């Protein structure tokens, strides 16, 4: 969590520098390039690390080695796909050059992530965290230097490549000496890995596509200025995403450990996570809804505040996505991998259809509404089958009601303070009122809010956790 926050903060600061040194149109091109490269996870995720993790116990270095080589191959293929899309789409030469350089980060990053399974298996994720921080520090340092030199759009893509070089170098330096990795083309192993990964990779790919599709469609159906304004929304969304990613990284092995032998404890962990996500999601949504325009103006400039309403919708969608990801992690831990791609396919079709209609009429605002509508549909389509297997009493309506009441009290306090104090003061006071209200309302249970941060508490299983519908 500390590593992700540090990397996110440094990345955000680097983005601010780039935004202020590029024109609105060039920032739109820059956002498009990295949005397109983000879509390449459709290809790069065709080798799911969870499958390899199960085979590392008796590995002599061949399985891990061929997995890294497979990820390198998939990264190269994704690089070719991205360049081909830009060429076939007749994008400006500057976009082609930027994609050619920035795309190398995909190649390096995908092969680098292959080593993560080794560190995860050995419970040495701190080394991955250090690598990420060092890489981001190098990226930020070079970005600052390039900003001082008033560099161009294309040159500003180089720091992303440097980041992946540093990360890869640190991981190679930190690899255990035994067993030594053997980088061989084990075709049968590759086919087995890809076959087992297809459902999860397909679901992940479709999720990325429906989440990033609107940026690409805006670039073709509107202008790069619209892409630039809308891209600010996703800069805030990326910071919110850190919360969910950190929780689910810790949550997944706990759920795998408890299902199905200890189903009541399995469900208790989900209930506790639900409470945590409700508390965090409500706070993020209410704070950003009130202060979106102020935050955008402070960080990116007043000329981007026209996209404040779109940003509000995107952040609300991201907070709903907390629960989509929770359902996905729960289903995967129960070996129900087919539901995820089906729900993601529904999301992709819905998002594509809505965007085709709303983007020509309402530009980035239409895209934001499409994002929120899609997230709601995906949540319903995946939550229902999840509860049928894990249990139908995971959502505590009394907790939901208390969170809503605490949110209303925080909104009233925030708006009242804002009348007599600067908005930053009002934001801090509002957050404080919210935290105090949730503590008084015992949203976290008898142990208070701090118990929400303890996902795996053996004392959490009580008679209050219903035992029916365990699947």
> What average pLDDT does this structure show over 13-23?
87
**Up-side HSE of residue 362: CA atoms within 13 Å toward CB?**
13
CA distance 286 to 54: 41
CA distance 294 to 301: 10
Do 276 and 247 meet the contact criterion of CB atoms below 8 Å apart?
Answer: yes
* Residue 464 pLDDT exceeds 60: no
Q: How many residues does the chain have?
A: 471
Tokens of 191: 């086919």
More confident of the two residues 135 and 343: 135
CA distance 144 to 15: 10
State the residue for tokens 């991201």: 318
Within 8 A by CB and 6+ apart from 453, the residues are 276
The phi-psi region of residue 185 (left if phi > 0; otherwise alpha if psi is between -120 and 50; otherwise beta) is beta
Q: What angle, rounded to 10 degrees, do the helices at 224-258 and 339-390 form?
A: 40
CA distance 393 to 403: 18
* Residue 463 pLDDT exceeds 60: no
* Residue 81 pLDDT exceeds 60: yes
* Residue 384 pLDDT exceeds 70: yes
User: What pLDDT, on a 0 to 100 scale, did the predictor assign at position 288?
Assistant: 92
* Residue 76 pLDDT exceeds 60: yes
* Residue 223 pLDDT exceeds 50: yes
CA distance 20 to 133: 24
> What average pLDDT does this structure show over 261-266?
83
* Residue 172 pLDDT exceeds 60: yes
pLDDT digits (tens, 9 = 90+) for 443-455: 877 666 667 766 6
User: What pLDDT, on a 0 to 100 scale, did the predictor assign at position 470?
Assistant: 35
Task: Confirm whether pTM is higher than 0.85.
Answer: no
Query: Domain ranges in the chain?
Result: 1-185
């Amino acid at each position: 969590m500390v590593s992700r926050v540090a990397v996110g903060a440094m990345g955000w600061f680097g983005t601010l520098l780039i935004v202020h040194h590029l024109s609105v149109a060039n920032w739109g091109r820059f956002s498009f390039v990295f949005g397109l490269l983000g879509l390449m996870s459709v290809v790069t995720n065709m080798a799911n690390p969870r499958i390899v993790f199960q085979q590392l116990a008796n590995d002599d270095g061949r399985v891990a080695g061929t997995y890294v080589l497979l990820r390198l191959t998939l990264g190269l293929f994704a690089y070719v796909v991205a360049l081909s899309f830009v060429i076939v789409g007749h994008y400006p030469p500057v976009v082609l050059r930027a994609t050619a350089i920035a795309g190398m980060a995909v190649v390096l990053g995908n092969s680098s992530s292959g080593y993560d399974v080794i560190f995860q298996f050995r419970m040495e994720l701190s080394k991955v965290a250090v690598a990420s921080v060092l890489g981001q520090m190098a990226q930020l340092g070079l970005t600052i230097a390039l900003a001082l030199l008033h560099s161009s759009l294309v040159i500003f893509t180089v720091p992303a490549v440097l980041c992946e070089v540093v990360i890869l170098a640190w991981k190679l330096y930190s690899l255990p000496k035994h067993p030594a990795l053997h980088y061989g083309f084990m075709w049968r192993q590759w086919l087995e890995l890809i076959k087992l990964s297809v459902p999860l990779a397909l679901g992940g790919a479709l999720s990325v596509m429906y989440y990033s599709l609107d940026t690409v469609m805006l670039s073709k159906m509107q202008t790069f200025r619209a892409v630039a304004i809308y891209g600010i929304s996703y800069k805030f969304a990326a910071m919110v995403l850190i919360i969910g990613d950190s929780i689910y990284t810790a949550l997944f092995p706990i759920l795998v450990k408890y299902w199905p032998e200890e189903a009541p404890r399995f469900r208790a962990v989900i209930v506790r996570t639900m409470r945590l996500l409700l508390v965090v999601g409500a706070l993020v949504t209410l704070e950003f809804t009130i202060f979106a325009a102020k935050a955008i103006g402070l960080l990116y400039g007043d000329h981007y505040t026209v996209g404040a309403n779109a940003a509000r919708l995107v952040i609300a969608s991201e907070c709903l996505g907390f629960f989509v990801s929770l359902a996905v992690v729960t289903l995967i831990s129960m070996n129900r991998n087919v539901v995820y791609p089906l729900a993601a396919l529904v999301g992709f079709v819905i998002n594509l259809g809505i965007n085709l209609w709303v983007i020509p009429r309402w530009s980035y605002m239409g895209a934001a509404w499409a994002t929120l509508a899609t997230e709601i549909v995906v949540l319903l389509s995946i939550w229902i089958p999840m509860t049928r297997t894990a249990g139908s009493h995971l959502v505590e309506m009394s907790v939901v009601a208390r969170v809503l009441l605490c949110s209303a009290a925080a909104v009233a306090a925030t708006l009242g303070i804002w009348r007599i104090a600067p908005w930053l003061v009002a934001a801090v006071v509002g957050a404080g009122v919210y935290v105090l209200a949730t503590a008084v309302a015992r949203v976290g249970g008898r142990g208070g809010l701090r118990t929400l941060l303890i996902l795996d508490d053996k004392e959490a299983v009580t008679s209050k956790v219903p035992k029916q519908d365990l699947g």
